[in-house]
Amino acid sequence: MDFKDSAEQAAFRAEIRDWLSKNATPKSASGGRKDQSEAYQDAKIWYKKVADAGYACLNWPKQYGGAGLSDIHKVIWSQEVANYAEPDGYFVIGIGNCGPAIMHFATEEQKKTLLPPMASAETVWCQMFSEPSAGSDVAGLRTSAVADGDNWIINGQKIWTSGAQHSDYGVILCRTDPTISKYRGMTMFFIDMNQAGVEVKPIKQMDGGAHFNEVFFNNAVIPDAYRLGEVGGGWGAALLVLMNERLAIAGVQPDGFPEFLKLVKTLHIDGEPISANPAVREHLAEWYYKHAGIKASTNRMLTAVAKGGMPGAEAAMGKLVGAVMNQDIANYAIQLMGDAAAICDPAFAEQQAHFQKTVLFSPGIRLAGGTDEGMRNVIAEQVLGLPQEPRADKGLAFNEIPSGNQSR
């Protein structure tokens, strides 16, 4: 494994750093927290600026609004822009997840129509997989799509859909045949989020935001031309989307260590530097080796990507360790800060209230993109080679699977 940039990659990284230094806002100069609609508009302006500079969707073909470069170029961009206060990840689900689905399964005419405005965030997309009864077990979804001539009629509910209230389109996974295996009876579509029969309800979070949504479908009619892939091929399409989600966040999964190290170097309690406290030093050492392990695992994944591979179980390990560590560090930092932790205004709080915000939002990070339990299963099966967990639904058609709600 070679964890260093090639000469070409190093030159590209230098180019990106130079452009960002002239066009992006440093974290130290960012203002206070903005309301969601204002942040959304700022994100659209930023994406347009990036697109005009030729850095939008670096790993997409040029004819679809990208730069025609490799996956590793996209990762390098993500690593460098993470050092700035720009909303670069605001539309990562649409571009990182929905884009590849359109790229692989839509017609050539649809690709040329849908992808360029997605790349510049002129149009915004969301991904609709999770449901109240189908979270980690996505294949347990119940939202139905019933064929009606050349159309499909969609009914059901999705939940935890990021950015749905701002989205123009969405990729949706539906149950099209409940009489066969739950994995074989799903089909993927895309849908206009502003059409009749689609209702979006934001979910208020404890940090004051409303990033997630419920989405209800009541006889929403879409043409068969909006189908992505074959009828019954939804599970394979979903796996492709989820694999690209791992790549979209590769190298930028927060674990909290850099921010904690900065705090330890600057914080004093009773006139003494907190770095002298044995308990703090013990935590620092523990989180450092985990941080280093995450970095090594990520670099291993990036090496595979640079050679044309796709992210594998390494991403699950980074997600599991990093998300838990990020929450643990935030909680510990809040304790160390004492009464000062009550100051949540970024203009006055330590590190612009980073730890205060992380305490409130980090539980969601442990759920998004796969729960801790789901990540452990991926590691157990794909890294350790352990057998799958027993499945009560194995060999059964979806409508034969026992549940508390037998009406399907």
pLDDT digits (tens, 9 = 90+) for 172-214: 999 999 999 999 999 999 999 999 999 999 998 877 778 889 9
SS3 41: helix
pLDDT in tens, 212-261: 899 999 999 999 999 999 999 999 998 888 777 766 665 556 788 989 99
The DSSP result for 373-393, as a single string, is: HHHHHHHHHHTS-PPPPP-TT
Please indicate, yes or no, whether residues 373 and 264 belong to a single structural domain of this protein. Answer: yes
The 10s digit of each residue's pLDDT in 210-226 is: 888 999 999 999 999 99
Taking alpha carbons only, the member of 37, 30, 86 closest to residue 347 is: 30
Cα–Cα distance measured from residue 13 to residue 192, given in angstroms and rounded to the nearest whole number = 37
Tell me, what's the pLDDT at 248? 62
Q: What is the CATH number of the domain that holds 148?
A: 2.40.110.10
Indicate the pairing of strand 125-128 with strand 169-175. parallel
Residue 2 has pLDDT above 70, yes or no: no
Tell me, what's the pLDDT at 310?
A: 66
Q: How confident is the model at residue 408 (pLDDT cuts 50, 70, 90)?
A: very low
397 within a domain of the structure (yes/no): no
pLDDT digit string (tens) for 378-397?
Answer: 889 888 899 988 888 888 88
The tokens for 225 are 């031309």
CA-CA distance, 352 to 36, in Å (whole number)?
18
118 and 159 together in one domain: no
Residue 391 lies in a domain: no
Mark which of 95, 124, 153 sits at the end of a domain: 124
CA atoms within 13 A on the CB side of 114: 26
Rounded to an integer, the average pLDDT of 105-117 is 93
Indicate whether 105 and 161 sit together in one domain: no
In a domain? residue 400: no
Q: Which residues of 228-264 are buried (b: 16+ CB within 10 A; e: fewer)?
A: bbebbbbbbbbebbbbbbbbbbbbbbbbbbebbbebb
Q: Do 202 and 291 reside in the same domain of the chain? A: no
pLDDT at residue 272, rounded to an integer: 85
pLDDT in tens, 272-286: 899 889 999 999 999
Any idea what the CATH number is for the domain that residue 99 is in? 1.10.540.10
Domain extent, residue 168, equals 126-233
- For 44, 82, 83, 305, the CA distances from 40, given in Å and listed in that order, are 6, 18, 20, 31
Torsion sign across C-alpha atoms 302, 307, 308, 312: negative
Q: Using alpha carbons only, what angle is made at residue 213 by residues 57 and 259, rounded to the nearest 5 degrees?
A: 60
pLDDT over 70, % of the chain: 92
Whole-structure pTM value: 0.84
How many domains does the chain divide into?
A: 3
> Is 88 or 19 the better-scoring residue by pLDDT?
19
